[in-house]
């Protein structure tokens, strides 16, 4: 049994099995049948934590599917499993005290289903390219749900996998250039075959419609705890994820909501939207809502056991933990009509978004969000031209992004908010209102004079820019920037301006409150045009 799980189990035991069934009945448009319950013990599951029970669970699913759908009941117990295959019109109920445990092929007899989908060029990581090698997966199914207050625990899942194989990698050759089929070329790579028969996701759904994931918990979910690709009408509500890679990923999805979820992911992103090429076509991630969620980067397992211990993890860029909400990593088509609201992010990286693979990011609203102790930039919008996409992707577009009513405390000195494009990729129409940032301060005159490096082909992560020459907001290569009712506080005297602008065409700054003297609160470089500065309030004191 995983450390810290005992208390969690006692809490979940307070809920009855009837409540789990009621939860499965909540969604109207996306549940399996509520007539025809199938207890997995009737199909041979033992739940003793030693026997492989995925065969029995799959038999129960097949039996329900043969009758047009049904509800699969997982009673209290510890069910050691390889791949569980969801079918259409199936509801999987994780009863209080139940735990589905990912088996380890190195320790247990059996393996996960083999990876599907082999292509000439793979523009995504192994974990996005294949879904059949998940602990629980659905491929092209409709009207499915996983509900209840049980736990999915993934000690046997891999956190890593082979990298992408694409034209942007020096020396890469396509299978046809090598005189091989795509599958032959894949099998010729030792690292690919190392992961054959292994699992890397707790839940993997691809091409599904009408999906509900509700109320259960995931501990240690592999590379991706919950990956949803190319799905429509998705509702993820009230789940708790405590993992050491990605938490909840929505990729190329439409009409999806992530509501009241708590995600702890110290070593990767907590909730992330993507628009990858995993479906071998460019598809938008659009009409998405992330509402009432909490994300963090505490030590693995200490969310579920309630101790919230700091993680010593240091990411490769030496900035610290991750655990953030992000739009990006992959943006082949891009993102449209996204709302992030009423969320709390603590001890994690800040909210980050952008388009870096061609594609578009537009009509994104972030409101009523609180960030406590962000380890990097509280808010950052980025455009670059990495272009991990089919050839000819061109330069991305980022436009119409709005931040309102954002509270930030404990921000680090080096990392103000940022809006940064590239010379041939101008970010357009970004506004901030009701933004209050309290930061450490302490920036020097040398920091204020820094020339921030350009890196046209960078990834979404802005850490290469290092300390920025403003303590509140740094903007470069932007058209139409609006700032109203914003306040930037620093704990220690800071030689940098509150706002620094470079190559900004069109900015309205009104209602700025700053510790800086009025003439030093905003600095616009010589290449800036059409800058209108309205009311600026300054205040004195030991920090002024």
Distance CA 5, CA 505 (A): 54
CB 125, CB 161: distance < 8 Å: yes
Mean pLDDT by 10 residues, the chain (544 residues): 46 39 39 70 97 98 96 98 98 98 97 93 92 98 98 97 91 93 93 95 98 98 98 98 98 98 98 97 98 98 97 95 95 98 98 97 98 98 96 96 98 98 98 98 96 96 96 98 97 96 98 89 96 88 42
Nearest to 313, CA basis, from 248, 245, 377: 245
pLDDT of residue 19: 41
Q: According to the model, what pLDDT value does residue 515 have?
A: 86
| Rounded Cα distance, 270 and 239, in Å | 12
Residue written as tokens 């290449």?
527
The pLDDT value given to residue 544: 39
pLDDT at residue 539, rounded to an integer: 76
Q: How many CB atoms are closer than 10 A to CB 281?
A: 11
Quote the radius of gyration of the chain (alpha carbons, Å): 24
CA–CA distance, 213 with 234 (Å, rounded to integer): 8
* Closest alpha carbon to 242 in 292, 291, 305: 305
Tell me the two tokens of residue 425.
Answer: 């990729």
Q: What is the per-residue pLDDT for 540?
A: 60
CATH superfamily of 1-250+269-340: Single-stranded right-handed beta-helix, Pectin lyase-like (2.160.20.10)
């Amino acid at each position: 049994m995983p450390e810290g799980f005992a208390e969690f189990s006692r809490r979940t035991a307070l809920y009855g099995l009837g409540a789990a069934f009621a939860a499965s009945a909540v969604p109207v448009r996306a549940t399996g049948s509520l007539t025809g319950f199938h207890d997995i013990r009737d199909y041979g599951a033992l739940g003793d934590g030693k026997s492989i029970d995925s065969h029995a669970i799959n038999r129960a699913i097949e039996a329900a599917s043969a009758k047009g759908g049904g509800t699969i009941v997982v009673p209290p117990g510890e069910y050691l499993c390889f791949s569980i295959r969801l079918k259409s019109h199936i509801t999987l109920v994780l009863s209080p005290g139940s735990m589905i445990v990912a088996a380890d092929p190195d320790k247990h007899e059996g393996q996960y289903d083999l990876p599907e989908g082999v292509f000439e060029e793979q523009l995504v990581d192994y974990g996005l390219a294949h879904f059949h090698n998940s602990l629980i997966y659905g491929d092209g199914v409709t009207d499915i749900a996983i509900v209840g207050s049980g736990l999915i625990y993934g000690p046997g899942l891999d956190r890593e996998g082979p990298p992408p194989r694409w034209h942007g990698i020096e020396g890469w050759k396509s299978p046809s250039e090598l005189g091989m089929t795509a599958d032959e070329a894949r099998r010729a790579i030792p690292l690919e075959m190392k992961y054959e028969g292994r699992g890397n996701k707790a839940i993997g759904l691809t091409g599904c419609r009408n999906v509900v994931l509700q109320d259960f918990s995931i501990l240690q979910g592999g590379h991706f705890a919950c990956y949803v690709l190319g799905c429509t009408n998705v509702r993820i509500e009230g789940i708790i994820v405590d993992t050491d890679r990605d938490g909840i990923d929505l990729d190329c999805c439409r009409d999806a909501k992530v509501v009241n979820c708590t995600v702890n992911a110290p070593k990767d992103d907590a909730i992330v939207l993507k628009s990858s090429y995993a479906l071998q076509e460019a598809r938008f991630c659009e009409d998405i809502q992330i509402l009432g969620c909490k994300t963090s980067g505490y030590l693995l397992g200490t969310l579920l056991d309630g101790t919230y211990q700091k993680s010593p993890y240091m990411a490769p860029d030496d900035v610290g933990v991750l655990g953030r909400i992000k739009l990006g990593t992959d943006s082949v088509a891009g993102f449209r009509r996204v709302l992030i609201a009423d969320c709390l992010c603590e001890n994690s990286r800040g909210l980050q978004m952008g388009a870096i693979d061609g594609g578009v990011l537009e009509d994104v609203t972030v409101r009523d969000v609180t960030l406590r102790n962000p380890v990097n930039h509280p808010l950052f919008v980025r455009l670059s031209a990495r272009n991990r996409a089919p050839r000819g992707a061109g330069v991305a577009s980022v436009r119409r992004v709005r931040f309102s009513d954002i509270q930030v405390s404990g921000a680090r000195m080096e990392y103000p908010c940022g809006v940064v494009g590239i010379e041939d990729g101008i970010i357009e129409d970004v506004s901030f209102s009701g933004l209050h940032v309290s930061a450490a301060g302490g920036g020097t005159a040398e920091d204020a004079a820094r020339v921030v490096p350009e890196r046209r082909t960078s990834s979404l992560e802005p850490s290469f820019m290092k300390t920025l020459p403003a303590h509140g907001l740094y903007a470069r290569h932007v058209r139409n920037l609006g700032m109203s009712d914003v306040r930037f506080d620093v704990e220690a005297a800071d030689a940098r301006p509150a706002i620094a602008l470079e190559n900004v065409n069109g900015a309205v700054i009104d209602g700025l409150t700053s510790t800086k003297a009025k003439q030093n609160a905003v600095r616009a470089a010589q290449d800036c045009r059409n800058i209108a500065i309205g009311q600026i309030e300054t205040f004195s004191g030991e920090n002024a």
